[in-house]
Structure 1
Amino acid sequence: MDLAELWNRATAVQPLPDPGLVLLAGVVALVLVGAPATWPRVRLGVTVVHEAGHAVVAVLVGRRLQGIRLHADTSGVTVSRGRPTGPGMVATIAAGYLAPAAVGVGAALLLAGGRGVLMLWLTLLLLAALLVWVRNWYGVLTLVGLGAGVGLLTWYADPEVQALVAYLVAWLLLLAAPRPVLELLRQGRRISPSSDPGQLARLTRVPAPAWCVLMLLANLAGLALGAITLAPDLLARV
């Protein structure tokens, strides 16, 4: 397969799936996010997007990206160099908890336009780009495993299976985005100074719980927008 054929395959418009399939993907995603047994695995994927958010915004505001680490406890760290204060640093830190919902909305827009395969290919490119910056073996293995799964899916799976997985990924990002912020809010005043809201509080003098509320509202808005985009007909019947 030459590059032109590969490009045509990636950018081809697919028919929109049956609304029942979209609903099924959303229900499965909700179960995966809510179940204690599956949440850690979902959260690891959310962490990948979280750290990607830090990394992308760090580069956009002119900081020097040093590396990314992913850990078995589903936490992660992104290190960049530049001014330790100022709007660029605030944007870089804030981007982490906002990234999953933002990427979920972007995925929903692609799916609504029949670009599910393109969405999967873009996911593969994101994983490949992150792999360059990962600095620990667990992170490397995580990204390679995810990339291999997405690559095999885009190459060998039937279009119906690709569509189901693409919608499942979009729903997972949208539904999972608020949960880590809610977990932080439950800590109240015990939010760690080293957490993203804790660092934002130090930089802006806005309390960490207030930052958590702002992030939660943004994630809920992203969930609403993504849901309307993914399943407009279903929501119209409610």
Structure 2
Amino acid sequence: MDIAEVWHRLVDAQPAPPQWLVLGAAAVALLAVAIRPVWRLSRNVVTIAHEGGHGLVAVLTRRRLSGIRLHSDTSGLTLSSGPPTGPGMVLTAAAGYTAPSLLGLGGAALLASGRITALLWICIVLLAGMLLMIRNAFGVVSVLVTGGAFLAISWYGSTELQAAFAYLGVWFLLVAGVRPVMELQAKRRRGGARDSDADQLARLTGVGGLLWVALFLVVSLACLLAGGSWLMHHQ
């Protein structure tokens, strides 16, 4: 495959997949979020998106990104340095719980325009950039496995397989973006998560943590509704 052919695969629109594939991908994504044993594993993908959101916004707001750690219990930590208060710190803290849903929304927009291969390669680039900032072994393995799956599917997969993988990934981000927000509030209600993103934002802004959780939930639900509509009507 020459460079020109690769370029055309990246920028040219692919035909819309059949309705059954879109619905099937949505059903599998829902099961991956709803079934607890599966969720324990699939939640690692959400953690990658969550911590990647923190890291990306930290860089965009000119904070110094020190590193990202991903843990086997699906928790994570992103460290950045800079002013301890102010817009940059607020945006960085707010990016985590909104990142999976916003990434899903962006992916839905690409799929609605037929850019399936482009979506896969954008994900590869983002994961490669994140890999450079990972500071623990489990995190490296998690990102390498995820990025390797995207690379293998985009390079060797058939058009149908690429479509199925891309739609499954986007549906998963849209659906999975809701559950961690609900889990966060449940943990806060039990008196845990005192250092959660919502509680950090409360200390930074003076706005209650519950309102930040509500904002996270509104964003995730809005992305699910909008992105899901785009995916379902691109036929």
Normalised by the length of structure 1, the TM-score is 0.95
Q: Which residue of 1 aligns with 2:185?
A: 185
Structure 1 residues 233 and 4: alpha-carbon distance in aligned structure 2, compared to 1, 3 A threshold = closer
Amino acid at match of 2:8: N
- Once residues 167 and 138 of structure 1 are traced to their aligned partners in structure 2, the CA distance between those partners, rounded to angstroms, is 27
- Once residues 73 and 87 of structure 1 are traced to their aligned partners in structure 2, the CA distance between those partners, rounded to angstroms, is 30
User: How far 1:191 sits from its partner (Å)?
Assistant: 4.2
Q: Does 1:96 align with 2:96?
A: yes
Contact 2:109 2:230 in 1 (8 A): yes
Q: Which residue of 2 aligns with 1:113?
A: 113
User: How far 1:141 sits from its partner (Å)?
Assistant: 0.8
Contact 2:112 2:234 in 1 (8 A): no
| 3-state SS of 2:193 partner | coil
Q: Does 1:17 align with 2:17?
A: yes
Q: Which residue of 1 aligns with 2:50?
A: 50
| 3-state SS of 2:36 partner | coil
Q: Does 1:5 align with 2:13?
A: no
- Once residues 45 and 96 of structure 2 are traced to their aligned partners in structure 1, the CA distance between those partners, rounded to angstroms, is 13
User: How far 1:4 sits from its partner (Å)?
Assistant: 3.2
- Once residues 47 and 60 of structure 1 are traced to their aligned partners in structure 2, the CA distance between those partners, rounded to angstroms, is 20
Q: Does 1:197 align with 2:198?
A: yes
Contact 2:25 2:164 in 1 (8 A): yes
Amino acid at match of 2:144: V
Deviation sequence 1:153-203 (CA, Å, 0-9, x none): 111111001101100000000000010110111132624231111111111
- Once residues 47 and 127 of structure 1 are traced to their aligned partners in structure 2, the CA distance between those partners, rounded to angstroms, is 13
Q: 66-75 or 178-187, which moves further after superposition?
A: 178-187
CA RMSD of aligned residues (A): 1.3
| 3-state SS of 2:67 partner | strand
- Give structure 2 stretches of 5+ with no counterpart: none
Contact 2:101 2:174 in 1 (8 A): yes
**Seq. identity, %:** 48
Contact 2:16 2:234 in 1 (8 A): no
Contact 1:191 1:208 in 2 (8 A): no
- Once residues 201 and 145 of structure 2 are traced to their aligned partners in structure 1, the CA distance between those partners, rounded to angstroms, is 33
Contact 1:17 1:163 in 2 (8 A): yes
- Once residues 180 and 41 of structure 1 are traced to their aligned partners in structure 2, the CA distance between those partners, rounded to angstroms, is 14
- Once residues 64 and 8 of structure 1 are traced to their aligned partners in structure 2, the CA distance between those partners, rounded to angstroms, is 36
- Give structure 1 stretches of 5+ with no counterpart: none
Q: Does 1:230 align with 2:235?
A: no
Contact 1:189 1:209 in 2 (8 A): no
Normalised by the length of structure 2, the TM-score is 0.96
- Once residues 98 and 164 of structure 2 are traced to their aligned partners in structure 1, the CA distance between those partners, rounded to angstroms, is 25
Amino acid at match of 2:171: W
- Once residues 42 and 134 of structure 1 are traced to their aligned partners in structure 2, the CA distance between those partners, rounded to angstroms, is 19
Q: Which residue of 2 aligns with 1:141?
A: 141
Deviation sequence 1:9-39 (CA, Å, 0-9, x none): 2222110011121111101110111001110
